[in-house]
Structure 1
């Protein structure tokens, strides 16, 4: 069903039960599933967030210069990418971290053709440092990189939620679960599955998004076509 996917991991998904930072057991479990999926022949790219370490927008709200705060957040994604790379390589998966910021001692520079070549050679590619520009989220980085590498879909593995709801289920316990909706509906209803820039990019290029809870086995279940979580796509009649 899928030849190449981009997995978007939130920084929070690496925390496990902690309030902050990384949980090695959780990262190991994610890596094990990545290796399992890769053996099925699917090419895997990953964009990881930094919410477990640093949030640029939160720092900006407290008075820090927004651009500086965003750059700090980009560096935090590199920390997560290196931890994930280490766990993957411990399990025999050849992995490359490609950074949008130049950090040549620890990561390769992001070059689109190089990323595609790594994927074709069966390597897991982790995109770090977002887009390399302030004022853009890692969601936008995920949409951009997915389009650049011609991924078939974005898989958004969420921490603590099984998909998309009409309202925030943490606030409204009776919030309606939405098993599927279109990109346009998500934008018009202001459903915060990802930021509007990222969602618009996906809509304009008809890139489907699968949103599901990060639990052992769920990534493979999505790739095998099982209907779990929420699917965001654009029907053929709406395509431009």
Structure 2
């Protein structure tokens, strides 16, 4: 394995599968099996999931809701997704811990950095829920922050596309894919990888990002092995 400790960032939308809303249990099951295969090779895995399949704070703000209130609702949506993935992971035999930035003692542990690291060292898959616990920050920012705190080797951003392109490949058939690109090039070209706060955190802490297609079975293992799929962003 190329890495020892990784942080996997999944979007909430990825859990929908072909649905328009909510959670597709088949997609969650596939993710759990892919994660188990990589974990069985000895990697320490932490996960952050978005909540956009249930509730999006930015969209609610545009319709008139208070932004902070909307963002807190979005954080709760990430906990629902985290619980769904936790259940799927445990069904395939993995030991897990769900740690959240908002206290919910009946269902999860509060986030404590040293405790999270200890769980990883003991071979547990750690899921971080409720974002950073603060409004105005996305789950991308939470992923970057938690990855830095636990000293992860890399942030793996699992999406529906297989990397970073010169343009949106779903809209522009002439778009070409980058196999590797620097942080500065991403800034210069105005490419959308993560939100700017998350991206800057990764750049300042020399934390590489790999964008890849998580929905294709086996891709997570290929990334963990260091195969050149997806797009690598580094200094």
TM-score normalised according to structure 1 size:
0.95
Give the RMSD, CA atoms, in angstroms.
Answer: 0.8
**Could you tell which deviates more after superposition, 149-158 or 187-196?**
187-196
Kindly state the Cα deviation for residue 176 of structure 1 after the two structures are TM-superposed.
2.0
Unaligned segments of structure 1, at least 5 residues: 235-240
Kindly state the Cα deviation for residue 49 of structure 1 after the two structures are TM-superposed.
0.4
Q: Secondary structure at the match of 2:97?
A: strand
Q: Secondary structure at the match of 2:6?
A: strand
Kindly state the Cα deviation for residue 18 of structure 1 after the two structures are TM-superposed.
0.8
Match of 2:126 in 1: 125
Instruction: Determine the C-alpha separation between the residues in 1 that align with 2:188 and 2:109.
Output: 38
Match of 2:34 in 1: 33
Asked if structure 2 preserves the Cα contact closer than 8 Å seen for 1:187 and 1:199, the reply is no
Instruction: Determine the C-alpha separation between the residues in 2 that align with 1:190 and 1:69.
Output: 28
Unaligned segments of structure 2, at least 5 residues: none
Asked if structure 2 preserves the Cα contact closer than 8 Å seen for 1:187 and 1:196, the reply is no
Match of 1:7 in 2: 8
Match of 1:201 in 2: 201
Kindly state the Cα deviation for residue 171 of structure 1 after the two structures are TM-superposed.
2.4
Kindly state the Cα deviation for residue 178 of structure 1 after the two structures are TM-superposed.
1.4
1:84 aligns with 2:85: yes
TM-score normalised according to structure 2 size:
0.97
Match of 2:65 in 1: 64
1:1-240 aligned within 5 A: 1-159=2-160, 161-214=161-214, 215-234=216-235
Asked if structure 2 preserves the Cα contact closer than 8 Å seen for 1:112 and 1:148, the reply is yes
Kindly state the Cα deviation for residue 183 of structure 1 after the two structures are TM-superposed.
1.2
Kindly state the Cα deviation for residue 149 of structure 1 after the two structures are TM-superposed.
0.2
Q: Which runs of 4+ in 1 moved over 6 A?
A: none
Kindly state the Cα deviation for residue 188 of structure 1 after the two structures are TM-superposed.
2.5
1:176-231 deviation line (CA, Å, top 9, x unaligned): 21111111211222211100110000000110101011111001101111100100
